[in-house]
């Protein structure tokens, strides 16, 4: 592992990936807190613990939080794969850091836009911006392995 972390590109990837995981954990905590505040539980046993079966229900803001989390899983997990492989292809440190930073910032903005219901097209632009470095890394990986 030490040898991998000596690679500055991989080390940068690990840094931004860890920030993304922390962001995802934060959304999970927010979702739980909103469930408690809104008394909107997905499971009967949780609802009964917090006031009764009537609280086993959905809430629009809880669902918004869940969708933000699901969207992260759909986008961050592929970034983990692409970034790890891309880090092994010998890219420029500055360009790689740019890819990782842009992805992180765009995903952070996407989360803020989702949770705060910011006006369109903030969320979709954030999504598109985050896709640019992923597509770039995928193309560079394919060019490097070049079957």
Q: Give the pLDDT of the chain (147 residues) as one tens digit per residue.
A: 677 779 999 999 999 999 999 999 999 999 999 999 999 999 999 999 999 999 999 999 999 999 999 999 999 999 999 999 999 999 999 999 999 999 999 999 999 999 999 999 999 999 999 999 999 999 999 999 987
Query: Across-strand partners of 56?
Result: 41
| Nearest residue to 70 via CA among 102, 114, 34 | 114
pTM of the model: 0.94
State which CATH number among 3.30.565.10, 1.20.120.550, 1.10.10.10, 3.40.190.100 fits the domain covering 2-145.
1.20.120.550
Residue 109 to residue 146: CA distance in whole angstroms: 34
Residue 39 per-residue DSSP state: T
């Amino acid at each position: 592992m030490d040898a991998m972390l000596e690679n500055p590109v991989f080390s940068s990837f690990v840094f931004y990936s860890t920030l993304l995981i922390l962001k995802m954990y934060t959304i999970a905590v927010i979702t739980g807190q909103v469930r408690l505040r809104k008394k909107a539980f997905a499971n009967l046993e949780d609802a009964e613990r917090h006031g009764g079966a009537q609280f086993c229900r959905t809430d629009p803001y809880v669902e918004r939080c869940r969708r933000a989390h699901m969207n992260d899983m759909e986008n961050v997990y592929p970034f983990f794969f692409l970034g790890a492989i891309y880090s092994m292809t010998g890219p420029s440190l500055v360009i790689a850091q740019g890819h990782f930073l842009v992805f992180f910032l765009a995903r952070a903005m996407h989360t803020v836009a989702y949770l705060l219901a910011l006006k369109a097209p903030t969320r979709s632009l954030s999504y598109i911006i985050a896709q640019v470095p992923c597509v770039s890394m995928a193309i560079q990986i394919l060019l490097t392995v070049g079957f």
